[in-house]
Amino acid sequence: MGELKRVTKTLVGYLQRPDLYPELGRKIIKNIFKRNSAFRGKEKTNVWATQRAVSQEQAIQKLFGKTAVPFAEQFRTVYDESVRRQEECPVKMGGAGALELIYEACEFTDAKSVVETGVAYGWSSLAALLSLEKRGGTLYSSDMPYLGQNGDQYVGYVVPEKLKKSWKLFRHADRESLPRIFGETQEIDVVHYDSDKAYDGMMWAYSQLYPRLRKGGVFISDDINNNSAFQDFCEKNGIEPTVVDFEGKFVGVFVKN
Ligand SMILES: C[S@@+](CC[C@H](N)C(=O)[O-])C[C@H]1O[C@@H](n2cnc3c(N)ncnc32)[C@H](O)[C@@H]1O
């Protein structure tokens, strides 16, 4: 799709969804006044993350005291069916996060309430739901629809029907979704952040999510190498995070003291 066609389609998508007007306003302001601030501190953070990075398996062992079993092995039937659904999906979306880390974080905390931002195909949702269903917990997810691709209907496409009873999906930008989610759950066991990757968006969401994460809960953020938001947030709050080297990017994780 040409750039002009994509931008026009996205704009038309926004105009058809009045509930997304606040996000449209923020995007316009960001593009005019703050084009480069999304990547603030990127170089410093990449040095910091590279120095402390461990593998996903090492992180799971260190934080949760468990030997990670590959997700595809542990949930072979569900996984194969989800791969098949991703392949048949006509809309192309963002890739999966660190599934074993998310699943084990839910197991470690005996999670009943998980909040995630960024769903796309729904791989991270699947990982959380497979743990939550064991104890009747709920996953609260926030995802902006894929306006440029008519992708709204495909958000969470790889999640099997039978797991959806444990799932509440809020289809707004985080700044609108999260207040609605906090209206339904006050004490969160696991946070998985994987949506807006700009510095200000990450900082804003972290500052909303962290106070609501219970003591002993697990906080995971994907793509912490885009800017220094995760590093700055951890330093400001005296948090010693674990950094996971995952498929060419870094994921940040910590257990709240
Ligand atoms: C990398 S994908 C998420 C992948 C998913 N966690 C997984 O493991 O399959 C990022 C998603 O975040 C959503 N997103 C981006 N900015 C957002 C925002 N400000 N509010 C809510 N969702 C947003 C995008 O629509 C996209 O679906």
Find the CATH number of the domain harbouring 159.
3.40.50.150
User: The domain containing residue 161 runs over which residues?
Assistant: 3-255
Give yes or no for a contact between 113 and 187, defined as CB atoms under 8 angstroms apart. Answer: yes
The rounded Å distance from CA 115 to ligand 1 centre is 13
Q: Rounded to an integer, what distance in angstroms lies between the CA atom of residue 148 and that of residue 170?
A: 19
User: What is the pLDDT at residue 24?
Assistant: 85
How many CB atoms lie under 10 A from the CB of residue 60? 26
| Domains of the chain: total | 1
1 confidence band (pLDDT: 50, 70, 90) = low
Secondary structure (3-state) at 168: strand
Question: In angstroms, what CA-CA distances link 26 with 23, 131, 174?
Answer: 5, 35, 12
The rounded Å distance from CA 221 to ligand 1 centre is 12
17 confidence band (pLDDT: 50, 70, 90) = confident
- Looking at every residue in the chain, the average pLDDT score rounds to 93
Ligand 1: which of 10, 24, 144 to mutate, most ligand atoms within 8 Å of CB?
Answer: 144
Q: Rounded to an integer, what distance in angstroms lies between the CA atom of residue 240 and that of residue 234?
A: 7
Give the mean pLDDT of 224-235. 98
Taking phi over 0 as left and psi of -120 to 50 as alpha, with beta for the rest, 224 belongs to alpha
Specify the pairing of strand 213-221 against strand 249-255.
antiparallel
Ligand 1 atom with least separation from CA of 158: 9
pLDDT 10s digits, 149-176: 777 889 999 999 999 999 999 999 999 9
User: What is the pLDDT at residue 19?
Assistant: 83
Query: What is the chain's alpha carbon radius of gyration, rounded to the nearest angstrom?
Result: 18
Closest to 201 in 3D by CA, of 238, 176, 168: 176
DSSP letters spanning 241-256: -EEEEETTEEEEEEE-
Ligand 1 atom with least separation from CA of 145: 25
Q: Is the pLDDT of residue 101 over 80?
A: yes
Ligand 1 atom with least separation from CA of 143: 22
User: What is the pLDDT at residue 88?
Assistant: 95
Ligand 1 atom with least separation from CA of 97: 8
pLDDT 10s digits, 47-89: 999 999 999 999 999 999 999 999 999 999 999 999 999 999 9
Name residues contacting ligand 1 (CB within 6 A). Answer: 93-94, 96-97, 117-124, 142-144, 146, 173-174, 194-196, 201
Q: Which residue has the tokens 């500052």?
A: 207
Ligand 1: which of 19, 119, 181, 221 to mutate, most ligand atoms within 8 Å of CB?
Answer: 119
